[in-house]
Amino acid sequence: MSQKRKKIILVGGGFAGMEFAKKMSNSDYEILLIDKQNHHQFQPLFYQVACSMLEPASIIFPFRRMFQGTKNMEYRMATVLEVNDKEKFIVTDVGNFDYDYLILAQGCKTNFFGNEEIEKHALTLKSTQEAIKIRNHILSNFEAVLAVEGNERDEYLNIVIVGAGPTGVELAGSFAEMKNKILPKDYTFFDFSKLNIILLEGSPNTLNPMSDNARKASRKYLENMGVIIRTETVVKNYDGHEITLQSGETIPSRNVIWAAGVTGNKIEGLDKAIIVRGNRLTVNRLNLVAGYDSIFAIGDIAYMETPLYPNGHPQVANVAVNQAKNLAKNLLSLKPISNWKEYEYKDLGSMATIGKNKAVVDLPRWKFKGWFAWIVWMFLHLMLILTVRNKLIILINWAWQYFSSDSSLRVILSDPNKRK
């Protein structure tokens, strides 16, 4: 009589979830992936969708298409509400599901630091839908400003990005290129030189976690492109028309994009004592959640202290992917947990692109910028795209934009009856 396969529920299909699913496909485990989206999203290129450089279909991958023909994989589109580890099941908005092992990889959402007013009015960039919303919003405002006069026009002509990490820097660079190279051709009879791209950052630098070389280069690139950079500047509030700084200064804007931090997506039922700063879950070196024997957490939601990283690992794709690989390898080994291999992060570097021919790359032994860094950035991101078809689509789009300094993707796809 064959032994019953153990059930693994995997919550979240981001970088960590997809890597774990790929490694466990066609194994002797029964895998159920639960995600509120029906597709994997390539988050590093969200900003290109928001800035009309790529279509959303280029960077999304339906789960059911990815797992076609995989006999041990199933997917359910649902939101996980609660964990009952005592009886080994989870509660979702479509029913309950039991498990032998639970893998939490639900990632993070935008952190508004408790400010409900900012959360209500600011745009965010943590999903494909939000990227499309930014594109629709910005393009609609470009159309609306043509009929606006006086001081109200400033609200439409100030694009404010809060947070100068990679997302903020890449958005600012892309909007600056749109202002300098595209809008003058699209709007021949309107002076878009008065459009301001404003980047606000609470720390002293752009790309503050990166090297001094990357900080200085990114700031210089952006300022040369016309971006207004305000570091050591903290936002106090935003009401949809005016952003208020902690200093008391105000900036009129209907275009505020919040890229100032993340916090973990919470699931009820777990011991609150294991939840640390940023709503991350405390795990050991095996990614086992503290206090549990069958619940694991991987990726951005996991907080793991090691001798090399006593304050936890950075919330980057490389950590997520390799934690997933290590956990899958341990489960597939069928060894007792006492013989599992512990995880340690190997820093392979970080990078960000600012615009055409402009990027910064920090490798462990080599730090560089400019055209070659831009080529490296494009190549590595292209290699991470999951399918050959999507790689080709993105490559063709990038090649067209490089030689034409233009794109044909500035389409507003929203209900005209609901536009303000």
pLDDT of residue 397: 87
Q: By the 8 A CB rule, do 179 and 195 touch? A: yes
In a domain, 234, yes or no: yes
- Distance, CA of 6 to chain centre: 32
In a domain, 370, yes or no: no
Residues 120 and 252 in one domain: yes
Amino acid at residue number 93: D
Domain boundary pick from 260, 287, 319: 260
In a domain, 60, yes or no: yes
In a domain, 375, yes or no: no
Domain boundary pick from 236, 260, 284: 260
Tell me which DSSP letter residue 308 carries: S
In a domain, 369, yes or no: no
Q: State the pairing for strand pair 30-35/7-11.
A: parallel
Beta strands (DSSP E) in 298-374 are 302-304, 350-355, 358-362, 367-369
pLDDT of residue 1: 40
Residues 248 and 286 in one domain: no
Q: State the pairing for strand pair 275-276/7-11.
A: unpaired
Tell me the chain's radius of gyration from C-alpha atoms: 23
In a domain, 346, yes or no: no
In a domain, 406, yes or no: no
Residues 126 and 58 in one domain: no
pLDDT averaged over consecutive 10-residue blocks of the chain (420 residues)? 81 96 94 96 94 92 93 95 96 96 96 94 96 95 90 93 96 95 90 94 95 96 97 96 96 96 94 95 97 97 94 93 97 93 92 95 93 94 88 88 75 67
The Cα 323–Cα 399 span in angstroms is 34
Residues 207 and 276 in one domain: no
Region class of 345: left (phi > 0), else alpha (psi between -120 and 50), else beta: beta
pLDDT of residue 403: 78
pLDDT of residue 405: 73
Region class of 325: left (phi > 0), else alpha (psi between -120 and 50), else beta: alpha
Residues 86 and 61 in one domain: yes
Residues 25 and 94 in one domain: yes
What is the DSSP annotation of 178-227? IIIIIHHHH-TTS-GGG-EEEEE-SSSSTTTTS-HHHHHHHHHHHHHTT-
Burial status of residue 160 (CB atoms within 10 A of its CB: 0-12, 13-18, 19 or more): buried
The Cα 209–Cα 311 span in angstroms is 14
pTM score over 0.75: yes
Residue in the structure block whose two tokens are 């976690």 = 209
Enumerate the β-bridge partners of residue 350.
362
Number of folded domains that form the chain? 2
Nearest Cα to 34, choosing from 86, 87, 81?
81
pLDDT of residue 401: 84
In a domain, 230, yes or no: yes
Hey, how many other C-beta atoms are within 10 angstroms of the C-beta on 181? 15
The Cα 108–Cα 259 span in angstroms is 13
pLDDT of residue 420: 52
Residues 121 and 211 in one domain: yes
| Nearest-5° Cα angle at 83, 78 to 89 | 80
Residues 66 and 136 in one domain: no
Residues 126 and 255 in one domain: yes
Residues 288 and 251 in one domain: no
Q: By the 8 A CB rule, do 51 and 171 touch? A: yes
Hey, how many other C-beta atoms are within 10 angstroms of the C-beta on 143? 12
Overall size of the chain counted in residues: 420
Beta strands (DSSP E) in 317-415 are 350-355, 358-362, 367-369
Q: By the 8 A CB rule, do 362 and 210 touch? A: yes
Which residues have a Cβ under 8 Å from the Cβ of 224 and sit 6 or more positions away? Answer: none
The Cα 326–Cα 312 span in angstroms is 17
The Cα 259–Cα 232 span in angstroms is 15
Residues 119 and 253 in one domain: yes
Domain of residue 50, CATH code: 3.50.50.60
Q: Residue 35 sits in which domain range? A: 7-110+262-339
Tell me which DSSP letter residue 123 carries: B
pLDDT of residue 149: 85
Domain boundary pick from 243, 260, 277: 260
* Number of DSSP helices (H) and strands (E) in the chain, helices first: 12, 25
Residues 25 and 131 in one domain: no
User: Phi/psi at 56 (nearest 5 deg)?
Assistant: -55, -35
pLDDT of residue 3: 65
